[in-house]
Amino acid sequence: MQDLISEYLEVVRLFRRYLEEKRGMEKREKKQDPQVLLENFYQSMKNCKLCNLYKTRTNIVFGEGNPRAPLMLVGEAPGRDEDLRGKPFVGAAGQLLRESLKKEGISNDKIYIANVIKCRPPGNRDPKPEEISACLPYLREQIKIINPKIICTLGKFSTQVLLNTIQGITRLRGKVYQLNDTTIIIPTFHPAALIYRAPWKATFQEDLKLVKRNLDNL
Question: Would you state the pLDDT for residue 22?
Answer: 56
Q: What is the model's pLDDT at position 32?
A: 84
Q: Does residue 117 contact residue 53 with C-beta atoms inside 8 Å? A: yes
Q: Give the per-residue pLDDT at 203.
A: 97
- In three-state secondary structure terms, 150 is strand
DSSP string, 121-135: PGGGPPPPHHHHHHH
The tens digit of pLDDT for each residue in 170-196 reads 999 999 999 999 999 999 999 999 999
Structure confidence at residue 120 as a pLDDT band (50, 70, 90): very high
Are residue 86 and residue 129 in the same domain, yes or no?
Answer: yes
Dump pLDDT digits (tens) for 127-178: 999 999 999 999 999 999 999 999 999 999 999 999 999 999 999 999 999 9
Q: Are residues 212 and 110 in the same domain?
A: yes
So what's the pLDDT on residue 19? 55
> Is the same domain home to 26 and 104?
no
Q: Residue 41: its pLDDT value, please?
A: 96
Same domain, 6 and 107: no
Give the whole-angstrom CA distance, residue 218 versus residue 215: 5
Do residues 191 and 206 share a domain? yes
8 A C-beta contact, residue 51 and residue 130: yes
In a 13 Å sphere around the CA of 5, the CA atoms on its Cβ side amount to: 2
How does the average pLDDT of the chain come out, rounded? 90
CA atoms within 13 A on the CB side of 119: 22
State the pLDDT at residue 15: 47
Work out the average pLDDT over 97-112.
Answer: 96
- Higher pLDDT: 19 or 39? It is 39
- Please give the tally of structural domains in the chain: 2
In a shared domain, residues 148 and 49: yes
For residue 1, the model assigns a pLDDT of 57
Q: Can you list the positions of beta strands (E) in the chain?
A: 64-65, 71-75, 111-115, 150-154, 177-178, 184-188
Its domain, for residue 90, covers 34-216
Q: Report the CATH number that the domain containing residue 165 is assigned in CATH.
A: 3.40.470.10
pLDDT in tens, 3-27: 555 654 554 464 466 556 656 555 5
Binning pLDDT at 50, 70 and 90, where does residue 29 land? very low
Based on the fold, state whether residues 8 and 79 are members of the same structural domain.
no
Residues 12 and 72 in one domain: no
For residues 26 and 65, state if they share a domain: no
